[in-house]
Amino acid sequence: METQQLYRGRLIDHIQLVVADIAASKRFYRAVFDAIGIPLGGEADDYFWADELFVSSASSQAAAGALTGRTHLAFQANDRATVERFHAAAIAAGGKDNGAPGDRPYHPGYYAAFVLDPDGNNIEVVHHGPANRSADAIKITF
């Protein structure tokens, strides 16, 4: 995977989390990224990033000096085993269980796990089962 590829036309360009303890967050997110197969794009003492997720300390030049509030981020997985690896790795790296791997009622085939990161952000990894693997868009009604 290219770590410095620019994608145009996406709804989300990037997301930044400003965290209290950058070392604890690096430990947590490295474990998460390793479990789901996403390489770290870059890092310095006060930040790191992967794909479109940028994480920094409040004192980083990239931050406005204040911690971000609680956020829910969901990363896609290729299979259920990746969801399970994520959950185990994230907890081993200091995360707190917020929903063990399992089927969810959101739509058929939705298999996910949830872990709170060191700042209390709700991090999810989801596999959309075989019924939802086509290239066609899935319409979900709320």
For the chain, the structural domain boundaries read 15-59+68-132
Please say if the pLDDT value at position 91 is more than 60.
Answer: yes
Per-residue confidence (pLDDT) for residue 11, from 0 to 100: 79
Q: What is the pLDDT of residue 1?
A: 37
Which backbone phi and psi does 113 adopt, to 5 degrees? -140, 155
The predicted model scores a pTM of 0.85
Q: Is the pLDDT of residue 5 over 80?
A: no
Top CATH class, 15-59+68-132:
alpha beta
> Phi and psi for 114 in degrees, rounded to 5?
-130, 135
* Cβ contacts of 11-16, under 8 Å, gap ≥ 24: 12/52, 13/52, 14/52, 14/53, 14/54, 15/52, 15/53, 15/54, 15/71, 15/73, 16/54, 16/55, 16/56, 16/62, 16/63, 16/68
At 133, the pLDDT band (50, 70, 90 cuts) reads very low
Q: Residue 56's pLDDT is what? A: 97
